[in-house]
Amino acid sequence: MGRTGETLDPIKFLEIEDVIEINRRMVLTYGGFFVEGDDNLANPGSLKYILEAVQGSFFGHDPYPSLIEKAAALAWQIITVHVFHDGNKRTGIEACRLVLDLNGFTMKMDGEVIDVAIWISEGQISFGDLVQWLEARVLRRT
């Protein structure tokens, strides 16, 4: 194991349908607007692009080499790109948490999570700050 969140195993990731279901559940549970016919996607192609970009490499370079960076990028992109009509902050954070969970890590969830999601949406923290924040609150399960 190298940096926090790096694994030697292939990273397990969410599919488009998983992220749409996360959004549906977040909106149904906490309120908001959900359009069934288009899976609540404001721009259907954006979610596919985000998932491919977070998991892939460009010209042999992986912009998100660690699991934590990939999970952070997923949250960051869902929140800042506004993939869904509503529930982007909740969906982004929950998708991040689930990617970590799928790969054997637990993310500490508390009231600060809400603040961070708002700060991301308002441009008050950088992507690097988000990665550092996650590294401080993620533990590998044994």
Helix or strand (DSSP H, E) at 90: helix 88-102
* Superfamily of structural domain 16-140: Fic/DOC protein, Fido domain (1.20.120.1870)
**Chain segment 1-46, per-residue pLDDT in tens:** 334 445 457 999 999 999 999 999 999 999 999 988 889 999 889 9
Secondary structure percentages of the chain, helix, strand, coil, to 5: 55, 5, 35
Structure tokens at 66: 């660690």
pLDDT digits 0-9 by tens, 30-88: 999 998 888 999 988 999 999 999 998 778 888 999 999 999 999 999 999 999 999 99
pTM for the whole thing? 0.90
Domain ranges of the chain: 16-140
Residues 6+ apart with CB under 8 A from 14: 22, 51, 74, 95, 98, 99, 102
